[in-house]
Amino acid sequence: AQSVTQLDSHVSVSEGTPVLLRCNYSSSYSPSLFWYVQHPNKGLQLLLKYTSAATLVKGINGFEAEFKKSETSFHLTKPSAHMSDAAEYFCVVSDAPGGYQKVTFGTGTKLQVIP
């Protein structure tokens, strides 16, 4: 069975300071991992994905994440937060038990950016 744990439900940072959103996963297979962002009253947009290529993944809007198999982590980072980054972020794991591919979302982290 697969699972995802987002370690913080809320994160608050000042504009211009680094962002760290933490995600741990569990999977019996070789998982694909994703980060999605949801702005208020909007749908979801892909930030970045890991699919067994480079362990450091770069995404849109300056975000990146590092896949660490030994720590089963896939933390999302950004060097300098902007006001427009305020949103909810979801870590997602996907694997293929028995050939059927399931998707599991974390419970989300709400990022607040303080001016």
Partner 1 sequence: EAQVTQNPRYLITVTGKKLTVTCSQNMNHEYMSWYRQDPGLGLRQIYYSMNVEVTDKGDVPEGYKVSRKEKRNFPLILESPSPNQTSLYFCASSPIGPHTEAFFGQGTRLTVV
With CB under 8 A as the contact rule, the residue among 9, 14, 55, 80 that binds partner 1 is 9
Q: Report yes or no: 74 and 23 within 8 Å, Cβ to Cβ.
A: yes
By CB under 8 A, is residue 49 in contact with partner 1? Answer: yes
With CB under 8 A as the contact rule, the residue among 22, 44, 72, 86 that binds partner 1 is 44
Q: Report yes or no: 82 and 15 within 8 Å, Cβ to Cβ.
A: yes
Token pair for 81? 């937060």
Token pair for 18? 């680094």
- Amino acid identity of 111? L
Token pair for 114? 């303080």
With CB under 8 A as the contact rule, the residue among 40, 53, 100, 115 that binds partner 1 is 100
- As measured in angstroms, the least distance from the Cβ of 3 to partner 1 is 10
Size of the site for partner 1 (CB under 8 A): 23
Tell me if residue 98 falls in helix, strand or coil: helix
Binding site residues, partner 1, CB under 8 A: 6, 9, 32, 34, 42-46, 49, 51, 90, 94, 96, 100-108
